[in-house]
Structure 1
Amino acid sequence: MTRGLHSRERVEEYTRLGWWSDETMDGLFRVRVAAAPDRLALVDPRNKDDLLGVPPRRLTWRELEAEVNRLAAVFLRHGLRAGDVLGVQLPNTVELVTVYLACWRLGIVVSPLPVQYREHEVTELGALAGFAAFVTVARSGDRRPADEVRTALPGLRTVLAYGEDLDAELAGTDPEEALRLVEAHAAAHPADPNDCVTICWTSGTESTPKGVPRTHYDWLAMSWATVDAPRLTGDDVLLNPFPMVNMAGINGMFLPWLRVGGVLVQHHPFDLSTFLAQITEERATYTVAPPALLSLLLARADLLARADISSLRLIGSGSAPLPPPMVKGWQDVHGIGIVNFFGSNEGIALLTDPHDVPDPEQRARYFPRYGVPGVTWTSRISRQVSVRLVDPDTGEEVTEPGRPGELRLKGPTVFAGYLKGERLPDPFDEQGYLRTGDVFVIDGERGEFLRYVDRAKDLIIRGGMNIAPAEIEGLLSAHPGVADVAVVGYPDEVLGERVCAVVVPKEGAEVTLDDLLGHLRAARIASYKLPERLETRADLPRNPVGKILKRELRSELA
């Protein structure tokens, strides 16, 4: 499944149109190294010592390439080859960037997992993707991730861990020998832009996450969107607080940096004082943040007073609707424009930037409706991505304002299909458009905008991390005191949403939040999925066919 993901017809069409080219990830990296080998390229989190017990580093493009070749040589010595799938569980550090680039130099597929994942998730996803090997750290705080992986996936070819033997292997690898070994393998296995380069994971609304394979073609087409909107150049300093495991971290920060150069400053885990200090110390010009955090900072002048944010030109935001007063406030008070992004792992969708939509309140509410006659947008994806709205009940295409419809997408940024997709419902409609599951209406004087209505899915987004309620509900339903359960999100001013379990106890049973948390921890799930609130009810609201009315629950909790 790692070769030739897109059909020949699609490849021929999109290359003829100039939307796809023969660019590859490694080719792009080589261009960056050649252009400015001795310029600063990559900066570790300033709190890396607290996180992993090693001091932070700063690498030039030349130094980064030397590290990439040494790590790639280690991969080859451990039997990894083009087409193998490598599980990766690392925080945002120099090492995570190095792993991506070393894999792409060899044609290895990267499957990144959030650092919060434990044995439960590692076992499930490792089996789905067929991990050949795994890279992680020996220690992270009081955890031993490498030991957890060995327990979860005993059949792996190898587990390589920073803080263990991997450090010695890298130190003992001769740079010239590594270069010869790696270049020989790369020459013998030239990359095809249609090869799979990553398998990311989307929670969706199902209990089992879905794998989203991506090629050079679609990742690099998407990267133009996140270059064009903030107008990035090689002079920019990008501060990345989003984990590089899915669309936000990879296409929001990593790939734009790789495309234009500049400096990538890593941040992990999110800590507000550290984040603000990095803006000041590194003179960051662009970063991304969830809307709830931007609202908090706008309201708390005392927090921002601790930092010098004068270097910031723009901030990207998304994952939840942007409050118009927040977007206006940042522009009026600080002179910083907010770019409004809407997308998914399956296909970046829409973006509204200050250049195309100067009015901050409009920018918060609306996204472009690409393809409207007489209306142009500056981002090149506006000329490549086709959008349509479809009435979810009748299947009719929606063309009039105010009528809700499911957003559907088609173009070079859309993925080819889910991992082992033959076992899943087809994500594409009869015209080849991706069914997003998100509901919009047409708006604006000329019908040039789309306005977000609601998530059709029940996904909870907590601090930028996706949580599938069905997974938690399935585990909680096995608790001896639970008769019925629904898991929903409720608003939080910092994280956007937190997790609430709404439980109907069995007759005579008493259920506490501590009981439920103990039950879930015993299943070894990631800590960020744990409910932080419990509500007990005599019954759950349902529609006539028995579906739980989660919108009702969310409204009551809010």
Structure 2
Amino acid sequence: MTQTAAPPTLDGLFRRLRTRQPDAPALADPPDKLRITGRPPRRLTFAQADLAISALAAHFIEAGLPANSVIALQLPSTVEFALTVLAAHRAGLVAALLPQLWRQADLTAALNRTGARALVTASRIDGVGHADLAMNAAVEAFSIRHVCGFGGDLPEGMASLDGVIENGQGGFSPATQDGRRAAIISFDVTAEGFRAVPRTHLQLIAGGLAISLEAGVPQGANLLFAFAPSSFAGITSSLVLWLLSGGTLALHHPFDDAVLEQQIDKHGCDVLVGPAPLAMRLAQSGMPSRLPLLRQVIGLWRTPEEVGSSPSWLVEHATLSDVYLFGEAGLFCARRSADGAAAPIRPGPQTSPRDAGDGSITGEVLLTPKGTLALRGPMIPVAAWASTTASTGSLMPQPPLDYVDTGYAARLDRSTGALCITAPPAGIMAVGGYRFLAHDLEAWARRLGQGALLTALPDRICGHRLAGRAQHNARAREAILELGLNPLMAEAFRDSRASVG
């Protein structure tokens, strides 16, 4: 009887690379990590990374975390993020990705929603005491049993993970892994409110393949990742893309143009992954012309409705691939043609690479009867959106149950048959990667007292930017931080010139 091969997992992909090339460079920290976290940058080979992953996994098991329990991570784009995600999988845990911008209110909601048993963070990130935030959020989450962090000056009761990595004690039996089980949980905001979105290893790998095949990322590529990692798009375009290519992953803490150029040059990076508006800005400044080894740029669009109107990509020696992001629902990738214009997207199966007649089908795009774009395919977590795809009793035909409606308004161009994405989901605001319901702004403003106003204004780069007005802006900033709200809310009340009025 033939034995069926086990479905692949992220840790399985890593261990295969470690066996094949133990001494090859695997991970590289941002050179300004000392400024970001207070710790010097690390560079690890696959063998060194494997020891660190095993040591962290053993620590999680010794801490009493049962298999398939949730461990929440709020970490910057440094090697510790990659090591901790893979260690969680090796210990049989599910990693919940908490965005760095989240503060106590968001953290508490996510921990309670997922029933997380442990929380991992850094002592400080860009001058913010994330260890203290984590401890305060853990107090309000009754499921949390273990809190740990990287960096110095950790609060009492928080276990240090730096010593765990340095000691490298990883003698334990790894948990049984299955690619069909949940690997990560990311978080989104839809018209129905806050939503936790679990994904399996296979769904993550499918997302990484959609990008890798379309962009043509070569084996052994040196990748530079300059995007926040704590989302589906972030983890597939960094960790998964790295594991599929088998090269080196250099991490950049967004954003410092000078440091970014220094990293690309120093590591000989041939692939840059980052926000598409940033890539456009760098092209206009002439940076790619100073980096002849850079061959591919993968631009992530948090505002996919702006791809069609974006400038042409005119860098001769480097191609640009547009990655359309639809919150945590899914993504698709399209490499630009020789003239630099965005590739047309048509309904139906999406093949990668698009210019190959026998390309692999990585997903499918649907235009729903109500004029919104829906996605289907191996990366799409349909179960997480089950409540929105179920029948509502409406006479209007509903999309098939194996689709997820992204809520993005779209239409067909009658002359070309291509899809035109025209607007983001109604009632949802996005400031960079931070999404929230529009009516929440009013609720937050009311908590600041009479006469306070908080609104979202359109922004070409971030989607929206926040602006606020209060009788005393300084007091409003302090009140927002005391309420545990996102610092973007506090920045909306900078001064009279930046406020609404």
Q: TM-score range by the shorter chain?
A: 0.7 to 0.9
Matches of 1:258 and 1:529, distance apart in 2: 37
Task: Determine which of 490, 499, 503 is the counterpart of 2:458.
Answer: 490
1:500 and 2:467 are equivalent in the alignment: yes
Match of 2:450 in 1: 481
Residue by residue over 1:18-58, the C-alpha shift from the partner in whole angstroms, topping out at 9 and shown as x without a partner, is 9x971122211111112211111110011111112221111
Q: Which amino acid aligns with 1:390?
A: T
CA contact (8 A) 1:324 1:360 kept: no
Alignment of 1:465-476 (within 5 A): 465-476=434-445
Match of 2:376 in 1: 410
Q: Which amino acid aligns with 1:309?
A: L
1:192 and 2:207 are equivalent in the alignment: no
More off after superposition, 26-35 vs 148-157: 148-157
CA contact (8 A) 1:212 1:345 kept: no
How big is the shift at 1:140? 3.1
User: Which secondary structure state, in structure 2, belongs to the residue aligned with residue 367 of structure 1?
Assistant: coil
Matches of 1:280 and 1:185, distance apart in 2: 38
CA contact (8 A) 1:43 1:264 kept: yes
Residue by residue over 1:204-236, the C-alpha shift from the partner in whole angstroms, topping out at 9 and shown as x without a partner, is 356x52111011121112221011122112331
1:316 and 2:302 are equivalent in the alignment: no
Task: Determine which of 111, 114, 130 is the counterpart of 2:96.
Answer: 111
CA contact (8 A) 2:188 2:194 kept: yes
Change in CA separation of 1:480 and 1:59 when aligned onto 2, cut-off 3 Å: same
Task: Determine which of 390, 397, 407 is the counterpart of 2:368.
Answer: 390
Match of 2:412 in 1: 442
Matched residues, number: 473
Match of 1:159 in 2: 147
More off after superposition, 434-443 vs 281-290: 281-290
1:168 and 2:157 are equivalent in the alignment: no
Change in CA separation of 1:244 and 1:349 when aligned onto 2, cut-off 3 Å: closer
User: Which secondary structure state, in structure 1, belongs to the residue aligned with residue 378 of structure 2?
Assistant: coil
Change in CA separation of 1:194 and 1:111 when aligned onto 2, cut-off 3 Å: same
Q: Which amino acid aligns with 1:344?
A: F
User: Which secondary structure state, in structure 2, belongs to the residue aligned with residue 534 of structure 1?
Assistant: coil
Change in CA separation of 1:200 and 1:324 when aligned onto 2, cut-off 3 Å: closer
Change in CA separation of 1:141 and 1:434 when aligned onto 2, cut-off 3 Å: closer
Alignment of 1:268-417 (within 5 A): 268-301=253-286, 304=287, 308-317=290-299, 318-320=301-303, 321-322=305-306, 327-328=311-312, 330-331=313-314, 333-354=315-336, 357-363=337-343, 366-371=344-349, 378=356, 383-392=361-370, 405-417=371-383
Change in CA separation of 1:360 and 1:382 when aligned onto 2, cut-off 3 Å: farther
How big is the shift at 1:60? 0.8
Q: Which amino acid aligns with 1:443?
A: D
Change in CA separation of 1:381 and 1:452 when aligned onto 2, cut-off 3 Å: farther
CA contact (8 A) 2:55 2:165 kept: yes
Match of 2:421 in 1: 452
User: Which secondary structure state, in structure 2, belongs to the residue aligned with residue 417 of structure 1?
Assistant: helix
- The structure with more radius of gyration: 1
CA contact (8 A) 1:224 1:256 kept: yes
Residue by residue over 1:251-294, the C-alpha shift from the partner in whole angstroms, topping out at 9 and shown as x without a partner, is 12221111121110111142222112212211221123334323
User: Which secondary structure state, in structure 1, belongs to the residue aligned with residue 135 of structure 2?
Assistant: helix
More off after superposition, 271-280 vs 83-92: 271-280
More off after superposition, 67-76 vs 317-326: 317-326
Unaligned runs of 5+ in 1: 1-17, 393-404, 504-509, 537-558
How big is the shift at 1:362? 4.1
TM-score with structure 2 setting the length: 0.85
How big is the shift at 1:246? 0.4
Task: Determine which of 8, 12, 16 is the counterpart of 1:27.
Answer: 12
Unaligned runs of 5+ in 2: 155-159, 392-397, 493-497
CA contact (8 A) 2:221 2:270 kept: yes
User: Which secondary structure state, in structure 1, belongs to the residue aligned with residue 348 of structure 2?
Assistant: coil
Q: Which amino acid aligns with 2:302?
A: S
Residue by residue over 1:121-169, the C-alpha shift from the partner in whole angstroms, topping out at 9 and shown as x without a partner, is 1111111111101111223344332222222212421111112532234
CA RMSD of aligned residues (A): 3.1
Matches of 1:381 and 1:203, distance apart in 2: 33
CA contact (8 A) 2:225 2:273 kept: yes
Matches of 2:208 and 2:229, distance apart in 1: 14
How big is the shift at 1:196? 0.9
Match of 2:157 in 1: none
Match of 1:48 in 2: 33
How big is the shift at 1:430? 5.1
CA contact (8 A) 2:231 2:328 kept: no
CA contact (8 A) 1:290 1:463 kept: no
Matches of 1:535 and 1:157, distance apart in 2: 44
Matches of 1:388 and 1:427, distance apart in 2: 17
Q: What percent of counterpart residues are identical?
A: 24
CA contact (8 A) 2:24 2:45 kept: yes
Match of 2:61 in 1: 76
User: Which secondary structure state, in structure 2, belongs to the residue aligned with residue 149 of structure 1?
Assistant: helix
CA contact (8 A) 2:296 2:319 kept: yes
Match of 1:202 in 2: 188
Change in CA separation of 1:379 and 1:223 when aligned onto 2, cut-off 3 Å: farther
